[in-house]
Amino acid sequence: MKVGSTPTLTSKSSTLADDVFEQLRASIVKGELTPGSKINEPQLSKQHGISRGPLREAIRRLEGCKLVEIKPNVGANIVSLEIPQVIEIYEIRESLEGLASRLAALNASTEDCQKLRSLLTEHELHIHSQNGRRYYQREGDLDFHFQIVQLSRNSRLFDILCGELYHLMRMYRVQTANEPSRPVQAFKEHHQIVDAIEQGDGELAELLMNRHISTARKALLARLDAKPQTKFSENIDAGASAHQ
Amino acid sequence: MKVGSTPTLTSKSSTLADDVFEQLRASIVKGELTPGSKINEPQLSKQHGISRGPLREAIRRLEGCKLVEIKPNVGANIVSLEIPQVIEIYEIRESLEGLASRLAALNASTEDCQKLRSLLTEHELHIHSQNGRRYYQREGDLDFHFQIVQLSRNSRLFDILCGELYHLMRMYRVQTANEPSRPVQAFKEHHQIVDAIEQGDGELAELLMNRHISTARKALLARLDAKPQTKFSENIDAGASAHQ
DNA sequence: TAAGTAATTATTGTTGACAATATAGCCATG
DNA sequence: CATGGCTATATTGTCAACAATAATTACTTA
């Protein structure tokens, strides 16, 4: 076995466009690029030390993830998530992660289930400190869901949830520095879901995951009704305009 | 004061990248660009009379739709759908269109339902001719589903289904020049779904749509079990295809 | 002949410059 | 004072050339 070889050990050899895509995605999710703001191509390309060509390709990939919106001859804007749009995402998550849970129950081996358990117990260690609570809400929660999706063995499902929706979820959670929600209850529900998966009960796992996400969605809906705020309430009958 | 203004009346003013993206997407779905084949940038750019810059942006958009797969420093290949991957898509459609039907039942006005009805009756006119049957299977079917998704008023759901999955569905249906499936039965099921939506029964609409898509998925699964492996097996039991 | 290797070709990745469009600032005018 | 049009600026869209990498060919050697 040669030691000094493996030419690209530290610096992985991918294209500039792909690299800057990941950097930009991270920046957007972290909120370093503020939602709604405009992307200035010359500035960004100079910042990242690359030309505008690869940058534009990266932006097109971000558009595919729905992290930016491009208007021809005008430019790209960082997407800004309002509560109604987050509710839309929750509706989709409800369906899709229910499916993922059902499939996971069919596919998961005993080792897989053990892995899920250990993930949950690890989260349990963090959950008691305030710091840990935030960790659990922000990352641990999606980590768990991520594992479930992987167990579904549906690669396209994985793409949609982990390639798009979860990034948007993280972005929203960072935006609204809110937390606490109900970490203890959520934790219990996670365990119940693993129970169902462990027993190979796909239907139950699907139902439990549906309820789990539905709860969060309804909480969001309550917040929406509470503050009909800004911009004339769109919740009344927002869809009268049959666009397209 | 010049009068002959409105410069772009016939020619819509979008970017070259967006135009060629739509052209390429159509070519891929129609099968003009054969699945699995490689994309040659200089050749394609010359064919479309544009430079490689906008072309590469278009390819990146195609990657977002999962119509091509890009490998760094190698190039993009037209995606090739095998049955297992189509089954994955059906699983997702089942969940997502069930959701769409449920939401549509909540949102649809009487006019919306009339529109759905007229769409179905229009399809009924075509369904009797062999030609029409193919039309119904190929286009009419997805047209109906398209309308349901619009009625859900969930823009992100619309993006996923109509922006990605339906194009892949069309592509697959063109690839496998097969049909007939079961157009009459499917037609009945469509009417049942509209019934449920008309009555505002979201749960029923969801269940019916689930069953509707599930049937197609299971038929595909049967085909997968029938010929467990590699291509070149369709000539073995080709005796069943008496027609044509 | 087969296999490995070096040279050649083709294709992708990247860049900087140019053209087209939109944005802003300014001045004139009601 | 507000408004409309004009100029100037900035930004996006497009292109052609160059660099880097992969694919192919030709050649050498066992």
CB contact A217 to B (< 8 Å): no
pLDDT at residue B101 above 60?
yes
Evaluate whether B216 touches B173 at the Cβ level (below 8 Å): no
Residue in B18, B73, B92 closest to A157 by CB: B92
The nucleotide minimizing the C1' distance to residue A45's CA is C15
Please give the structure tokens belonging to residue B188: 């009945």
Cβ distance B157 to A85 less than 8 Å, yes or no, reads: no
- Fill in the amino acid letter for A23: Q
B15 CA – C22 C1', rounded, Å: 14
Evaluate whether B120 touches B194 at the Cβ level (below 8 Å): yes
What is the Cα–Cα distance from A183 to A213, expressed in whole angstroms?
A: 13
Mind listing the pLDDT tens digit for each residue in A223-241?
Answer: 887 766 444 333 333 333 3
Residues 8..37 of A with a Cβ closer than 8 Å to B: which?
Answer: 13-15, 17-18
SS3 B141: helix
Q: Is the CB of A73 within 7 Å of strand D?
A: yes
The mean of the pLDDT values for chain A is 85
pLDDT at residue B175 above 50?
yes
Cβ distance B88 to A239 less than 8 Å, yes or no, reads: no
Mind listing the pLDDT tens digit for each residue in A124-134?
Answer: 887 666 555 55
What is the Cα–Cα distance from B50 to B52, expressed in whole angstroms?
A: 7
Please give the structure tokens belonging to residue A109: 């081996």
Query: What per-residue confidence (pLDDT) applies to A133?
Result: 54
Evaluate whether A97 touches A213 at the Cβ level (below 8 Å): yes
Predicted TM-score (pTM) of the model is 0.88
CA Rg value for chain B: 21
Please give the structure tokens belonging to residue A70: 């491009």
pLDDT at residue A10 above 70?
no
Mind listing the pLDDT tens digit for each residue in A26-76?
Answer: 999 999 999 999 999 999 999 999 999 999 999 999 999 999 999 999 999
Over A84-142, what HEC string results? HHHHHHHHHHHHHHHHHHHHHHHHCCHHHHHHHHHHHHHHHHHCCCHHHHHHHHHHHHH
User: What pLDDT band is residue A163 in, cutting at 50, 70 and 90?
Assistant: very high
Query: What per-residue confidence (pLDDT) applies to A141?
Result: 78
Cβ distance B88 to A57 less than 8 Å, yes or no, reads: no
Best A24, A25, A41, A60 member to test B by mutation, with max B CBs in 10 Å, is A60
What is the Cα–Cα distance from A133 to B27, expressed in whole angstroms?
A: 51
B237 CA – C13 C1', rounded, Å: 48
| Partners of residue A75 on adjacent β-strands | A71
Number of A:B CB contacts under 8 A? 88
Query: What per-residue confidence (pLDDT) applies to B138?
Result: 60
B172 CA – C9 C1', rounded, Å: 36
